[in-house]
Amino acid sequence: MNEKEKMLAGELYDSSDAELVALRHKAHAICREYNALDETDAKRAELLDALMPAHGKNVYLQGPVQFDYGAFTTMGENCYANFNFTCIDCAPVTIGSNVFFGPNVSLLTPIHPLRWQERNQFVKPDGTLGDYEYAKPITIGDNCWIAGNVTICGGITIDEGSVIGAGSVVTRDIPPNVLAVGNPCRVLRQISEERKRNGG
C-alpha cells in the first residue's frame, strides 16, 4: 500500500508523503481562490467542481472554506455551509442531502497517536522529516442540521434527521431524528411530530 491508500484505509501513514503534500497543496490553492471571489461569482461553481467533484446539485458553501483534500469528501444535493466551514478529509467524509452547517463548523477526521513515540516527527532515510497519523471517516446523514461552532471528530456517524446544537463537540455516534448538544455531545431528546409547532 502507498501512503494515500493507508490514509484512506484508516491505517497509520506518513502525512509528509510527496503525493499527499501535492494533493493538499492543490486543494489549499483552490480554497484560497474560492475564498477570494465574490459570493455571486460564477467561477465559484467551477472551483467547487475542481475541489470536491463528488457533490450534488444546489450545494452552496458561503466561504471562507478550508479543505485538506476535497477529493475525499462526498456531499449530496441542496446542502449549505455558512462561514468558516473546515473539512479535514484525510479519511472519507460522506455528507447526505439537505444538510445545513452553521458558521465555524469543523469536520476533523485525523487522529494523532496518543503515544508520543508514534506522534513525534521522525527523520526519514532521505533526511527529511516524516509525520505519522491516522484518520477515521465521518458520515452525516440526510436532513441534518449542524449548528454553529460544532466540531465533529473522526470515526463519527450522525444519522439522518438529527440536529447538533451550537458549540457541541461530537465524539460518539448520534442516532436518527434526535437533538444532541454539549461537550461531549449527548442526545437531549427525540425530534417528534407532536412538538413540531415548537420547533420539533
Q: Which residues have a catalytic role annotated?
A: 112
Length of the chain measured in residues = 200
Question: In the numeric block, which cell numbers belong to residue 62?
Answer: 458561503
In contact, 70 and 23? CB cutoff 8 Å = no
Question: In the numeric block, which cell numbers belong to residue 180?
Answer: 444532541
| β-bridge mates for residue 87, sequence order | 67, 107
Which residues lie below 8 Å from residue 156, measured CB to CB, with a gap of 6+?
Answer: 136, 138, 139, 170, 171, 172, 173, 174
In contact, 108 and 88? CB cutoff 8 Å = yes
Which residues lie below 8 Å from residue 96, measured CB to CB, with a gap of 6+?
Answer: 76, 140, 141, 142, 143, 144, 160
- What letters, b where the CB count within 10 A reaches 16 and e where it falls short, cover 15-44? bbbeebeebbeebbebbeebeeeeeeeeeb
